[in-house]
């Protein structure tokens, strides 16, 4: 079973910002997994693998063994769905109720499936998370992962074995505080680093410095406290648009014309095929989306069928482009995405139907050939995708906001 899970992990498509799992998942060699890696494993990888193993397994003569495997799958899905509801960046009494339902069932399942296992204090604490959700809001506002990351980085800081010796800090806001040499070094390094980050990312930074910073950073060591000075870790704030105009493919241009003409009853719309520009990267909430040709993993999305709709559809991005058009006397600019929808497979026995809150579904491997044109603002989130059969894939939205 563990071998199958490892093979499935290696075949999973996921965006780079999502924590990746080691190829030798489950081996002591990779060390202790981080909390974010466990979250990745439980929000897609392990539940999907277990459901697939259970679906492909033929009934044995041992009824108890078959029943236990089903209980293990249900038990794992209880934890996965509890995590989804509990860690959502939006919360409500409904979120708290759903989390309580799944976590209570998960804890009860531990005693049923592993009667010799002693429950830990964390199992008790987990049952009080609904109180925190209702009293303080989403957990990301109160958890201590940022402090734990800082502690980990401080532990890697070269202290030169000088800990505890007193020295007076040179910072005016800490003029009357006595710090050890290690503390003063860390504070000094942190302040210099943050000042440099502020300069590099501000509008007043000389363009030549911003342009050359990626090259400079390669030869400097910024791993002591954080990776904030590495340009690869800077979230994009605006779409990256190429300056050379392109001619849209005929099917995309026809969809664009149909879209504009349907909204041109009052103001005439003037289209120009040469006023489209490729958007290499489209950022939303610190993550970026791009076309399949540029990055397949970042082109798999779920989008809203309408800007204000809550119904999500999976798709593959073929092209993101910026388009200018004349509406009456005004020049209007919009960013659009040409996408191809994934079509769901009609199954008599859908293995995911009994886990509606998990919201995974099986689709045809190849997206529909007809292009769908959407506004870029309709893009909702990235998707995980994994082969299910030779002609089918299973997909799930990486929805950490709504759940």
pLDDT in tens, 227-241: 444 555 555 667 888
**Residue percentage of the chain with pLDDT more than 70:** 82
Residue 357 has pLDDT above 90, yes or no: yes
What is the pLDDT confidence band of residue 307, given thresholds at 50, 70 and 90?
low
Tally of structural domains, the chain: 3
User: Does residue 144 fall inside a structural domain?
Assistant: no
**Residues 60 and 95 placed together within one structural domain of the fold:** yes
User: Does residue 142 fall inside a structural domain?
Assistant: no
What is the pLDDT confidence band of residue 354, given thresholds at 50, 70 and 90?
very high
Q: CATH no. for residue 356?
A: 2.30.30
Average pLDDT taken over every residue of the chain: 83
**Residues 122 and 187 placed together within one structural domain of the fold:** no
Beta strands in 194-263 (DSSP E): 240-246
**Residues 43 and 97 placed together within one structural domain of the fold:** yes
Domain boundary among 106, 137, 168: 137
Burial 256-267 (b: 16+ CB within 10 A, else e): beebbeeeeeee
Contacts 24+ apart (CB under 8 A), 124-129: 126/82, 127/100, 127/103, 129/86, 129/99, 129/103
Residue 226: partners with Cβ closer than 8 Å, 6 or more residues away: 153, 193
Residue 79 has pLDDT above 90, yes or no: yes
Tens digit of pLDDT for each residue in 204-228?
Answer: 888 787 777 766 666 655 544 444 4
Range of the domain at 62: 2-88+91-137
**Residues 256 and 227 placed together within one structural domain of the fold:** no
């Amino acid at each position: 079973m563990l071998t199958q899970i490892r093979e499935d992990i290696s075949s999973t498509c996921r965006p780079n910002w999502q924590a990746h799992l080691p190829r030798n998942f489950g081996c002591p060699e990779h060390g202790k997994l981080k909390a974010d890696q466990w979250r990745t494993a439980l929000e897609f990888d392990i539940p999907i693998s277990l459901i697939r193993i259970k679906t492909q397994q033929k009934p044995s003569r041992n009824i108890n063994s078959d029943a236990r495997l089903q209980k293990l799958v249900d038990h794992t899905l209880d934890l996965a769905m509890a995590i989804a509801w509990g860690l959502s960046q939006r919360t409500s009494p409904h979120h708290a109720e759903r989390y309580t339902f799944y976590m209570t069932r998960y804890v009860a399942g531990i005693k049923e499936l592993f009667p010799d296992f002693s429950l830990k204090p964390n199992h008790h604490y987990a049952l009080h998370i609904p109180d925190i959700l209702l009293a303080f809001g989403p957990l990301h506002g109160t958890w201590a992962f940022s402090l734990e990351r800082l502690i980990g980085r401080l532990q890697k800081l070269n202290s030169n074995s000088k800990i505890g010796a007193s020295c007076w800090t040179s910072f005016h806001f800490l003029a009357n505080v006595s710090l050890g040499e290690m503390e003063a070094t860390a504070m000094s390094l942190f302040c210099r680093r943050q000042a440099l980050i502020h300069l590099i990312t501000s509008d007043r930074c000389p363009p030549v410095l911003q342009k050359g910073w990626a090259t400079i950073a390669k030869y400097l060591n910024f791993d002591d406290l954080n990776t904030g000075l590495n340009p690869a870790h800077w979230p994009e704030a605006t779409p990256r648009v190429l300056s050379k105009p392109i001619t849209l493919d005929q099917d995309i241009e026809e969809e664009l014309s149909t879209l504009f003409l349907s909204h041109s009853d009052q103001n005439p719309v003037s289209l120009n095929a040469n006023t489209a520009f490729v958007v290499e990267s489209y950022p939303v909430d610190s993550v970026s989306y791009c076309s399949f040709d540029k990055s397949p993993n970042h082109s798999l999305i779920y989008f809203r069928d309408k800007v204000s709709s809550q119904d999500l559809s999976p798709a593959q991005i073929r092209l993101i482009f910026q388009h200018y058009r004349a509406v009456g006397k005004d020049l209007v600019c919009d960013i659009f995405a040409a996408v191809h929808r994934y079509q769901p497979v009609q199954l008599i026995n859908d293995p995911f139907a009994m886990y509606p809150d998990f919201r995974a579904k099986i689709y045809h491997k190849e997206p529909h050939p007809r292009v769908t044109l959407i506004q870029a603002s309709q893009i909702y989130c990235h998707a995980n995708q994994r082969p299910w059969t030779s002609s089918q894939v299973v997909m799930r939205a990486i929805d950490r906001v709504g759940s």
